Amino acid sequence: MDQRVFEAMKPYLLDHFGNPSSIHRYGREIRAAIERARKNVSDILNVAPSEIFFTSGGTEADNTVIHNAIGSLEIKHAITTKIEHHAVLHTLQHLADSGKIVLHFVELDPCGQIIYESLEKLLTAHKNAFVSLMHGNNEIGNLMDLRRVGELCKAHNAFFHSDTVQTLGHVDLDLSKNNIQSIAGSAHKFHGPKGIGLMYINADRQIPPLLIGGGQERNMRGGTENVAGIIGLAKALELVHNEKAESQAKLSEFKKYTIEQLQTRFSNISFNGLSADLSRSLNKILSIGIPGIEDNDMLLFNLDINGIAVSGGSACASGTSVGSHVLDALNPDESLGTLRVSFSKFNTKEEIDYFVEKLGEAIG
C-alpha cells in the first residue's frame, strides 16, 4: 500500500469513529467523507457519483452484477470466455448448472485474444444477452478492446459487464465514452487497501442488490460501510490517476528490461499470450514459459526461499494443486513450466536482476 494512502486512512481508523448512517454530528462527518470519496472516484471515471457503489472487492462486484442483472432482467443467455477470472467464470457456470442461463464461450485465437467475429455471431444468435469480458487478463495480461466490444453489445442490445480489476487505475477508463453497463474494481491492484472495491452500474440499467440490510449505498449494498477502506480506495485511485504517466513509464521499463534479461540469459524461453507485447498487454504482468521444468511447484518454492514472490498462474490459485485454466484454454506445451511475474512502481532493476539470477540457479 502506498504510504500516502495509509496516512489518508489513519484518521478513519483511530479518530473518526461515527457510523455514516447515524444522524448525529459524528455520523454526518463520516457520511460527508464517503460522499467526497465517491465523487472523486466518479470524476476519474467520468460518470455520475450515483453510479458508483463500494463493495468488499472485485469478486463481490462481479457476483452482484452477474446474479442480479441476469435475474432481474430475465436474461436467458450469457456470453464470456474460458479465460475469465473465476469470480466471473465460476459464477456464470453456477447459473448455467442451475438451469437459469445458457452459457456461451467466445472463441479465442492462439494468443488468447477474443475473435470478434465469434462474439458478433453469438450476439446475433442470442439477442439481449449478458456479456462479461475482462478488460485485462490477470494471468497473461492481454488487453481487450473495450470500446469495440461495447459497440457490438449496443448493436445487439446486450448487457455488457467487464471485470476491470487489473486495469482500473492503470489504463484510462472514461466510461462515458464506452457502451458499458457495469464494471468491477479492487483497490489493492493500485496500491490501496485489500478488502475494498467498487462497482459501476449505469443509471439506465438499474439492478437489485446482492446484499440486503440497512439500505446503505443507496440500497445497493446493505451493511455498515468500510469507511477507512473507502477513503483509502479513493486516495489510491487519485494518486495512480494523477501519477499515471510516470508510473506507467516505469512499469513498461521494468517489463521490457525483464524480457531482455530473460532472453539474454535463457535461449529457449517463451512468453504466454500477448504477455511480451508491450502495446497489447498490461505492463505490470509477464507470463513466462520455461522449457524442461518437471515440477513447477518446486521451481516456485526455490524462488520463494530466495525471497522472490511469483506465481505459477493466477495468484488466486496459489497454494493449490489446481493448474491455470487460462493456460489450459490456450493449449500450451505441457512440457513448459510457467511463472507469472507482477511488477510494481516500487520495484527496482536490481530486484529484476536478482530474480533472473536466482531463476537461472533454480533451473540449473
Q: Count CB atoms within 10 A of the CB of residue 287.
A: 28
Helix or strand run (H / E) with residue 92: helix 86-97
Q: Count CB atoms within 10 A of the CB of residue 83.
A: 26
Of the candidates 227, 225, 177, which has an alpha carbon nearest to the alpha carbon of residue 202? 177
**190/344 Cα distance (integer angstroms):** 9
The residue from 316, 317, 329, 363 that is catalytic is 316
**162/165 Cα distance (integer angstroms):** 9
- What secondary structure letter does DSSP report for 144? P
Report DSSP letters for 276-290, one per residue.
T-TTTB-TTEEEEEE
111 has catalytic annotation: no
Signed CA dihedral, 177, 178, 182, 186: sign only: negative
CB–CB of 293/299 below 8 Å? yes
Set of cell numbers at residue 62? 462481479
- Burial class, 246, CB count within 10 angstroms (exposed 0-12 / middle 13-18 / buried 19+): exposed
Of the candidates 99, 109, 49, 59, which has an alpha carbon nearest to the alpha carbon of residue 78? 99
**114/203 Cα distance (integer angstroms):** 28
Of the candidates 158, 200, 185, 198, which has an alpha carbon nearest to the alpha carbon of residue 73? 158
Of the candidates 146, 175, 186, 145, which has an alpha carbon nearest to the alpha carbon of residue 55? 186
Which 3 state secondary structure label does DSSP give 181? coil
Q: What are the residue numbers of the active site?
A: 316
